[in-house]
Amino acid sequence: MRSTFRSIVLMTVIVVSVWGIVSLSGSPYVESQEPFRLENYAQITPENLSEVTQIYQLSPTAEDTGITYSPIFSSNFQWFAYSHGSKLKLINIRDWRYHLQAESCSGDLVFDYHSQHLISACSYEIHRWELSGDFRRFSFETGTPPSEELTSPMDVQVFRGNEEIVTVYGARGGIKRWAYDGELIEETDYGFGPDLPTVQNSVLSPNGDLHVYVLMDAPNRGGSSLHMRQVSPFEIIADLTFLDIVDAESVFIGAVAVDITSTVVVNLDVNREGEIIVFVSGIGTRGTYFMHDINIVTTIEYSAPDVLAVGTGSGEIYIMQAQQSYPTLYRLEGHTARITDLAFAPGRGALVSTSEDGTVRFWGIAE
């Protein structure tokens, strides 16, 4: 798998220097008093990107402070959760009411496969909330990651149905697998830093079986490199620097996203002068690379069939048809500060964005 992946990744390179940009801004949005129904909105596809507009907004209350981040939908599409500062917020989409607003370390969030639990990973603990009754919380301590340097988990996912929880870490790098009752099943220390390269970004695929991380190794290898490891059995799938692909002295990897099909999307800063979006589509099949002129990319999200959303430091969001030679960028305007996270509603017509402006915004197409 490793050799096949590398040979095909190097096969297709597309550089784009001219993009058309279409603004999709509108009048300032005021939160509706009536809950909106996502089933009333069409699926976002490459053919209808020009019709996407803001359809709903969650604004901070007087008690809310800090930024919003980690938006996520449950697989049964009943629940939506996000973090606001140190507060975890859970909404029932069917009546659009808050069912949980918990002051705690809310960290990264994930729902289990059967939408029975919401899991949050913090610096020292993992919290598992029951999505019924009084929303009882079960917590267990995670201790430190498998290294001497304490860092918070960078990502958390449910693995092997509802049998395990997986957390991954930055700095020295590492991975832990937990049973639902808090028993530690396995931990692996990647052994990087402090005098060696360090892990600066670490994400899991939605099904928890693929770990993708960015290794900061400047100046020895000209910036940073991308690494992919299978979670269990634990083995390396690919190590990529992209230097030979983009013909550059240095490549620094920024945002990284992995979708349910194990499509890996990364943002590259080439020679600190320009940026490239890299697609590694369906690991082991093909890669597509193209130049873009969006400055300060903060987060990216990919959704089949071939729709890419890019968040920026200025608060703008760009959506486009992915893996196309000369894609048109459609700009979504509304946020007033840096975009922290993006998420597509699974199988539904919505994109959700969180920001340092403290709002959560939903984007879609009315049928």
* DSSP for 227-275, written as a single string: EEEETTTTEEEEEE--HHHHT-S-EEEEEEEE-TT--EEEEEEETTTEE
The reply to whether 278 falls in a domain is yes
Integer-rounded Cα Rg, in Å, for the chain is 20
pLDDT for 29 equals: 35
Backbone angles phi, psi at 9, to 5 degrees: -60, -35
Contact 362, 75 (CB under 8 A): no
- The residue range of the domain holding 20 is 1-63+252-367
| 46 cis-preceded (ω within 30 degrees of 0) | no
Instruction: Pull the structure tokens for residue 214.
Output: 């960015």
pLDDT for 240 equals: 77
Alpha-carbon distance of 238 to 56, in angstroms, equals 40
pLDDT for 3 equals: 30
The reply to whether 216 falls in a domain is no
The amino acid that residue 140 corresponds to is F
pLDDT for 8 equals: 24
The reply to whether 214 falls in a domain is no
Strands across the sheet containing 264-270: 251-258, 264-270, 274-281, 286-292
The reply to whether 143 falls in a domain is no
Within 8 A by CB and 6+ apart from 269, the residues are 251, 252, 253, 254, 275
pLDDT for 279 equals: 64
pTM score, whole prediction = 0.84
The reply to whether 35 falls in a domain is yes
On the CB side of 228, CA atoms within 13 Å amount to 23
The reply to whether 144 falls in a domain is no
Domain count, the chain: 1
Which pairing describes strands 174-179 and 184-189: parallel, antiparallel, or unpaired? antiparallel
Angle at CA 98, nearest 5°, toward 95 and 99?
Answer: 95
The amino acid that residue 23 corresponds to is S
Alpha-carbon distance of 30 to 48, in angstroms, equals 24
Mean pLDDT by 10 residues, the chain (367 residues): 26 32 46 62 88 91 88 91 91 87 78 90 84 87 58 80 82 85 87 74 87 73 77 80 67 82 78 62 46 72 83 90 75 94 84 95 87
Query: Any idea which residue has 């007087």 for tokens?
Result: 62
The reply to whether 247 falls in a domain is no
Within 8 A by CB and 6+ apart from 234, the residues are 175, 186, 188
Query: Any idea which residue has 């305007």 for tokens?
Result: 333
pLDDT for 266 equals: 81
Contact 241, 9 (CB under 8 A): no
Contact 11, 285 (CB under 8 A): no
Q: DSSP code of 361?
A: E
DSSP string, 211-226: EEEEEE-TTTTSBEEE
Alpha-carbon distance of 39 to 266, in angstroms, equals 31
The reply to whether 5 falls in a domain is yes
